[in-house]
A and B are shown apart, each in its own frame.
Chain A
Amino acid sequence: MKISEQDIKTVASLSRLKIREEESADVLFQLNKILTYVENLQALDTTNIEPTTYALPMQNVFREDKVKPSLDRELALSNAPLKEDGYFKVPRVLEA
């Protein structure tokens, strides 16, 4: 077993996901199967190999720091699940 039920709970919580009781056995089984499969990378010696994050060689891309038109506030808020007075509205974050 690569990953335990407790690991899954932790990673689900980090991912802001809840695993329902009835699906937990299947989630555990599938994730273990996949993580066991990807273990085959451990067979490769990667000493002194640099990691690749982007396939094409790319340096920093700069542009002039110029103000350009941006989204109108109403448009930016148009998909908000809840809004008020030009703001996104969320449940209370801090204790009163």
Chain B
Amino acid sequence: MALYDKTAHELHELLTTKKISAAELTADIFSHIDEAENKIRAYLTITRDKAEATAKLVDEKISRGEKIFPLEGIPCAIKDNICTKGIKTTCASKILENFVPPYDATAYKKILAQNSIIVGKANLDEFAMGSSTENSGFYTTHNPHDLERVPGGSSGGSTAAVAGGEAIFALGSDTGGSIRQPASFCGVVGFKPTYGRVSRYGLVAFASSLDQIGPITRDVTDCALVLNAICGQDDMDSTSTAAQIPDFTKSLVADVKGLKIGLPKEYFVKGIDPEIETAVRNVAKKFEELGAEIVEISLPHTEYAIATYYLIAPAEAATNLERYDGVSYGARVDGADVVEMMTNTRTEKFGAEVKRRIMIGNYALSAGYYDAYYLKALKVRTLIQKDFTDAFEKLDLILTPTTPNVAFKIGEMVSDPLKMYLQDICTVPVNLAGLPGISVPCGVTKNNLPIGFQLIGKALDEATILKAAFTYESTL
């Protein structure tokens, strides 16, 4: 197996036993990128010089006999909506095409503190709004499993990099499924932590009450290692939680005996690909064989989740994106006066989907419609959250498909935004409720396209999710 196909924990072992050097590993990744990137197009910026410089430092540290961190010397991709000081951060938007952040996002800083090797900034749907990377202002990323298909989105560049051997792990962000959905399309592990677990400082804001940074990895062990690195309260994000952080590697034990796992009937309705349904039911069977108890449950407000999400997220986005006014940073298109300058800038530099969401958001927030749309959605959000709270009184985990279908063809859905929104049916309820959720690969369809299942946990109980996911993975 090539180095670029290994996991972080395998590579850590090879580095500490001096079987390979960080420089060799970095060279291997970049020679693979030279070959694969023109087909996959996972990256918007590649930071080869920085990567090689870090590799040199890591090798010096190893040769001095110093202990290295679990992710030290491991190549990683950073989604391009996470601020990286001195490295362009575009959000895949023309409006930030030349934006070089003057500061680091906290989660990225924590990855830098591990001395991971930053390979580059990964493509996404513009401002993380989309499920395919087709809304990128620059180009679409291709799914490494089938280049004619999308990698999912919005963290499609990050997941394609990990699946395609162009990074060992990646950071993504998840507002309505943007880590889990592309992870399932690309056959990798993607984790959205509990809201507040990871600081959002330096994550370019889309919908602040829903956004969360999380790991994209090749297996559950790496997922736990990245979570260990990035979680924690941060003075720079008042919504980050002070809750205790366990050592997530302690969850890497194969044991689901006595766990109660719910299967919500609303996630197995018509419209779901039968091959996905079968695969996820087989996962449930496996858990049962291993000693877990499977319970059929109901989350009655599931059918309202998409409508709720597509009012709340655009309302928050409309507000957050007011800052792109051509004044203090980002692109500017001139106009006769200030208002015309701002209007020209936004009209020319935002893509169609971003404009659509700004318009929906401002409409839902405007006088006369606020109560009927925005406030109504906030109340339904309470009901959706309560569905989970009630269910978790008797359960440890909830098991669902991650997506209703596998990776679709590039161009297949671009003309129908609503159809694209319905992609998120299994993932948005989790964000609305602020809960942790993982997507784990569970086989492929007869066309060889990856399938993923989702495990949803109680707030702040990432540990149980990891344990069950690790148990499943150990049976493969």
Which residues of A come within 8 Å of B, CB atoms? 3, 7-8, 11-12, 14-18, 27, 30-31, 33-35, 37-42, 44, 46, 49-56, 58, 61, 63, 71, 75-76, 78-82, 88, 90-93
Contact = CB atoms under 8 A, between A and B. Distances in A.
Interface in B317-331: 318, 325-331
A42 B363 CA distance: 17
A90 B327 CA distance: 7
Contacts of A51: 375, 378-379, 381-382
The 8 A-B pairs with the shortest beta carbon distances in the complex, nearest first, are: A55-B434, A51-B378, A79-B329, A81-B332, A46-B379, A61-B238, A38-B307, A75-B102
A93 B307 contact: no
Contact of A49 (B98, B239, B379): B379
Contacts, number: 161
B60 to A, nearest CB: 30
B358 interface: yes
Contact of B376 (A11, A41, A71): A41
B373 interface: yes
Nearest to A74: B102
B331 A81 contact: yes
30 contacts: A11-B359, A11-B362, A15-B362, A16-B339, A16-B342, A17-B346, A18-B344, A35-B363, A37-B418, A38-B373, A41-B308, A41-B377, A42-B376, A46-B376, A49-B379, A49-B380, A51-B378, A51-B382, A52-B379, A52-B382, A56-B459, A75-B102, A79-B99, A80-B327, A81-B332, A88-B328, A90-B338, A91-B334, A91-B341, A93-B337
A3 B350 contact: no
Given A8-B359, A81-B326, A16 B239 contact: no
Interface of B: 98-100, 102-103, 194-196, 209, 235, 238-239, 241, 301, 303-304, 306-308, 310-311, 318, 325-332, 334-344, 346-347, 350, 355-356, 358-360, 362-363, 366, 372-373, 375-383, 385, 417-418, 421, 432-435, 459
Contacts of B239: 54, 56, 58, 61
Given A52-B385, A55-B434, A75-B102, A80 B328 contact: yes
A56 B379 CA distance: 15
Given A3-B363, A44-B304, 7 more contacts: A11-B363, A15-B355, A18-B347, A34-B421, A40-B304, A55-B433, A79-B100
A17 B347 contact: yes
A91 B337 contact: yes
Contacts of B332: 81-82
Nearest to B357: A34
A41 B301 CA distance: 10
Contact of A16 (B343, B360, B373): B343
